[in-house]
Structure 1
Amino acid sequence: MSFSGKVVFVSGGSSGIGAATAREFSKEGATVVIVARNETKMKQVASECEENGKRPLLIRADISQDAEAKRAMEETIQTYGKLDILVNNAGILRYGTLLDGGALAACDQLMAINFRAALHLTQLAAPHLVQTRGSVVNVSSVDGSSSVTPPLVPYSVTKAALEQLTRGAARELAPHGVRVNAVSPGPVYTDIYDSGGPHPVDNSNITTPLGTISQPEEIAHLILFLCSDKAKAMTGSNYVSDNGYLLLPV
């Protein structure tokens, strides 16, 4: 796959799946824009991208804030004059249950990043993607469509919402040649669990039928495929990469 000449906007590109996606797009010749809050980590990812491709444009922004999301998109267009691919990857994990009183606060925090920011960025990007007949990939989770433990309910709700956004945006933008898909990873080795809150998740206890947990690069490869010409007939779908995790009994 070659993405030479393509401009790719990756939110949450300073770590995990977002960082891997930025690196893989860079390897394939794309011009990458990394948007995240952690400037130190962004610079590290930029150096890694530069080893095999162009140095990305780095934009430090909190995309849960409307003005900052708008600024990030405007800077991208002002710098490169177009946008070909939007990867809505930014996400956080918070825990809360009805009985511990934390469900509502967790939901508010999660919705702001995991869903609302993605909706806003997609709205900002849409006119530019129409011009390039581009594509969007939303990074969801198997938790958006599976039974979950109570502390994960707020997180799962945001991912279910993101999947509905995927289908709705795909339907609206298809007449303009813009494709919108989602990927739903199962367990992945990332640092998202480190800041989850008072209900820590132990990755070492997670099992899958294939006996493995994905590396971020595996999800990045799926994202690149969905943005490529090889997937030109694919839109409005959610692609699961979970090593068989959803096959396990609840």
Structure 2
Amino acid sequence: MDFTDKVVIVTGASSGIGAATAIEFSALGAKVAMVGRNETKLTEVAKKCKNPLVIIADVSKDDDVKRIVNDTVAHFGKLDILVNNAGMAIGGSFLSENAMEVYDKVMATNLRAAVYLTHLAAPHIIKTKGNIINVSSICALIVLAKGIASYHTAKAGLDHFTRSVAAELAPSGVRVNVVNPGPVKSDFSRNCGLNEEQLVVAAENITKRTALGRRSEPIEMADIILFLASDKAKAITGSSFLADNGIFIKAD
């Protein structure tokens, strides 16, 4: 695959799937705008890319979202590909007193940010006949665990948002697809507040849930994202690509 001179925005690029995706796009010739909140981590990932645009931003803030698109277009002159990857989860019972506060925070990052970024980026992507890839989760399809109802809801919404926007943008030559990862070796669980002991237990438990008995490396998801962004996938839009190591089909 060749992405020479293609301009790509990758949110959540400071670690995990986002970092692997940014690095891979850059290696294949793309000009990458890397977005993240953690400046230290983002700077380290940027060292593995070729002249990226590093944007420190919080996608849950409207002004930051506007800056992401405006700075990218101002710096590179256009926009071809948007990867809405930034995400987060907060555990807790939906019966808790702060349930709606948690819901609003999770939805703001996992769904509203993708919607707003897509809204602002779409006019630029229409000009280049580019495409959009959203990063969802197996949690959009099944209830993976108790206490993360807001996360399940946000990811399910992201999947259907993908299909809806794909239908609207198809006449303009723009493709929109979504990837649904299962367990991936990344900082996601640590960023959600789990301590080292809890991380070990969580990794063991989720691995047992998979039919293949494994967790994916971030590069595996990046490979799917890049395929969907490439001309090899020019017939694919409005599709969900499940890469969950067989959680969905495992029979007890």
Shift of 1:102: 4.2
Match of 2:237 in 1: 235
Match of 2:165 in 1: 169
**Which amino acid is the alignment partner of residue 212 of structure 1?**
R
The answer on whether the counterparts of 1:95 and 1:102 sit within 8 Å (CA) in structure 2 is no
- Match for residue 127 of structure 2 among 122, 131, 142: 131
In the other structure, the counterpart of 1:5 is: 5
One-letter amino acid of the structure 2 residue matched with residue 148 of structure 1: L
Helix, strand or coil at the partner of 1:193: helix
Superposed counterparts of 1:217-232, under 5 Å? 217-232=219-234
Return 5+ residue gaps in structure 2 as ranges. none
The residue number in structure 2 matching 1:147 is 143
Task: Output the CA distance in 1 between the equivalents of 2:24 and 2:115.
Answer: 24
Distance 1:147 1:249 in 2: 15
1:83 is aligned to: 79
Q: Distance in 1 between matches of 2:87 and 2:157?
A: 13
**Scaled by the length of structure 1, what TM-score is found?**
0.94
CA gap 1:110/1:179 in 2 versus in 1, 3 angstroms: same
Return the letter of the residue paired with 1:13: A
Match for residue 213 of structure 1?
A: 215
Whether contact under 8 Å (2:94, 2:149) holds in the other structure is no
Mapping of residues 181-220 of structure 1, within 5 Å: 181-197=177-193, 202-206=202-206, 207=208, 208-220=210-222
Query: 1:55 Cα shift?
Result: 2.0
The secondary structure found in structure 1 opposite 2:55 is strand
Aligned counterpart, 2:37: 37
Q: Which residue of 2 aligns with 1:73?
A: 69
Q: CA deviation at 1:204?
A: 2.0
1:100 to 78, 86, 96: 96
- Contact between 2:10 and 2:32, CA under 8 Å: does it hold in 1? yes
Instruction: Give, in angstroms, the shift of residue 249 of structure 1.
Output: 4.6
CA contact (8 A) 1:96 1:104 kept: no
Is the CA contact (8 Å cut-off) linking 1:92 and 1:110 kept in structure 2?
yes
Range with greater deviation from structure 2 (88-97 or 136-145): 88-97
Deviation string 1:111-146 (CA, Å, 9 cap, x unpaired) is: 010000000000000000000000000000000111
Contact 1:96 1:154 in 2 (8 A): no
CA offsets 1:76-128 (integer angstroms, 9 cap, x no match): 01111100000000001111213333432221111010000000000000000
Aligned length: 246
Q: Is the 8 A contact 1:95 1:103 kept in 2?
A: no
Match of 2:246 in 1: 244
State the alpha-carbon separation in 1 of the partners of residues 165 and 96 from structure 2: 36
Counterpart check, 1:120 vs 2:116: yes
**Within 2, Cα distance between the matches of 1:145 and 1:102?**
25
> Shift in Å at residue 198 of structure 1?
7.3
C-alpha separation between the residues in 1 aligned to 2:53 and 2:213?
38
CA distance in 2, matches of 1:246, 1:144: 11
- In structure 1, runs of 5+ residues without a counterpart are none
RMSD: 1.5
CA, structure 1 residues 225+198, in 2 after alignment: closer, same or farther (shift >3 Å)? closer
Give me the whole-angstrom Cα distance separating, in 1, the residues matched to 2:129 and 2:179: 20
